[in-house]
């Protein structure tokens, strides 16, 4: 489980985001980081029981400030992503641990390739009923809410701005998120709750994987 000390340290880091403070508390950070890495590794193993995950990655605490106006040197959260086994399975999972009730999980497609984005949009141009029905399911909606992500202000090139599915066609990302309180993150069943919530997203992943591994005639491209 996630230790209360993890959230406490991250909160202190928010207030002392400086190299000298971090260096003075680096041994404490390393000990806490080790426990967090173990939590993510266990989540990876359990996810592989209900899905096929080929890799997972825990992001470093150090920020890349070279091209950022924000010059604070450290992130004040832990983040890790889990990638489904390609090419058959598409989509990914993300877990974000942060204090002050800012933890969340996310799933979906953050940065689809140009080819994948075009294929998704063409599918919506033909028919979006299956996806809309899926997103309207009570359990799905109660866990994941509405589709999120960046979108264009108008129709992408080659698509009709009056298309009845333009709300989906305009999208550049296809993401769902769910927030957690600190109390929920620190609970004994947090890991299982994350697994349960990720299981609810599977029909969406099944749909998108089917779209991205077939052409517009429904023929496999693998």
Residue 66 has pLDDT above 90, yes or no: no
Cβ neighbours around 72 below 10 Å, total: 13
- CA–CA distance from 148 to each of 26, 121, 181 (Å)? 36, 16, 20
Across 28-35, average pLDDT:
97
For the cut 90, the answer to whether the pLDDT of residue 10 exceeds it is: yes
Domain contains 75: yes
DSSP letters along 87-155, please?
A: TTS--EEEEEE-TTT-EEEEEEESS--HHHHHHHHHHHHH--HHHHHHHTSHHHHHHH-S-BS-B-SSP
What is the C-alpha radius of gyration for the chain, rounded to an integer number of angstroms? 20
Does residue 218 form part of some domain? no
| Mean pLDDT score across all residues of the chain | 96
Q: What is the DSSP string of 38-88?
A: HHHHHHHHHHHHHS-EEEEEEPPSB---TT-S---SB-SSEEEEEEE-TTT
Q: Residue 88 has what pLDDT?
A: 94
For residue 68, name the pLDDT band (cuts at 50, 70, 90): confident
pTM listed for this prediction: 0.95
Angle CA 102–193–103, to nearest 5? 10
> Coil, strand or helix: which one is 177?
strand
In a domain, 185, yes or no: yes
For β-strands 53-58 and 103-109, DSSP reports them as unpaired
Asked if the structure places residue 49 within a domain, the reply is yes
Distances (CA, A) of 221 to 28, 73, 85, 119, 169: 50, 44, 16, 12, 22
Look at the chain and report how many structural domains it folds into. 1
pLDDT of residue 16: 98
**Residue 198 within a domain:** yes
| Domain with 152 in it | 4-212
Contact between 169 and 124 under an 8 Å Cβ cutoff? The reply is yes
pLDDT of residue 124: 97
**Interval 102-161: pLDDT, tens:** 999 999 999 999 999 999 999 999 999 999 999 999 999 999 999 999 999 999 999 999
Sign of CA dihedral 178, 180, 185, 190: negative
Q: Between 190-200 and 202-212, two packed helices, what is the crossing angle to 10 degrees?
A: 40
The answer to whether residue 217 sits within a structural domain is no
Confidence of residue 51 (pLDDT cuts 50, 70, 90): very high
**pLDDT single digits (tens) 160-212:** 999 999 999 999 999 999 999 999 999 999 999 999 999 999 999 999 999 99
- Residue-level length of the chain: 222
**Confidence tier at 28 by pLDDT (50, 70, 90):** very high
Cis amide linkage into residue 87, ω under 30° from 0:
yes
Q: Is residue 219 part of a domain?
A: no
Strand ordering across the sheet containing 92-97: 53-58, 78-84, 92-97, 103-109, 174-180
Residue 90 covered by a domain: yes
What confidence category does residue 13 fall into, taking pLDDT thresholds of 50, 70 and 90? very high
């Amino acid at each position: 489980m996630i230790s209360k000390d993890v959230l406490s340290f991250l909160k202190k880091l928010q207030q002392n985001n400086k190299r000298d403070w971090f260096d003075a508390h680096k041994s404490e950070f390393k000990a806490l980081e080790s426990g967090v890495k173990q939590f993510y590794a266990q989540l990876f193993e359990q996810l592989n029981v209900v899905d096929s995950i080929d890799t997972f990655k825990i992001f470093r605490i150090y920020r890349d400030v070279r091209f950022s106006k924000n010059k604070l040197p450290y992130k004040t959260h832990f983040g890790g992503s889990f990638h489904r086994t390609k090419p058959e399975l598409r989509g990914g999972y993300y877990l974000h641990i942060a204090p002050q009730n800012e933890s969340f999980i996310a799933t979906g497609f953050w940065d689809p390739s140009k080819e994948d984005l075009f294929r998704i949009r063409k599918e919506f141009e033909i028919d979006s009923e299956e996806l809309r029905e899926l997103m309207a399911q009570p359990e799905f909606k109660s866990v994941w809410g509405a589709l999120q992500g960046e979108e264009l202000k108008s129709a992408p090139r080659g698509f009709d701005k009056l298309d009845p599915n333009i709300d989906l066609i305009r999208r550049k990302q296809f993401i769902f998120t769910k927030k957690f309180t600190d109390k929920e993150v620190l609970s004994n069943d947090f890991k299982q709750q994350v697994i349960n919530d990720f299981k609810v997203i599977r029909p969406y992943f099944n749909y998108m994987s089917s779209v991205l591994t077939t052409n517009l005639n429904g023929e496999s491209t693998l």
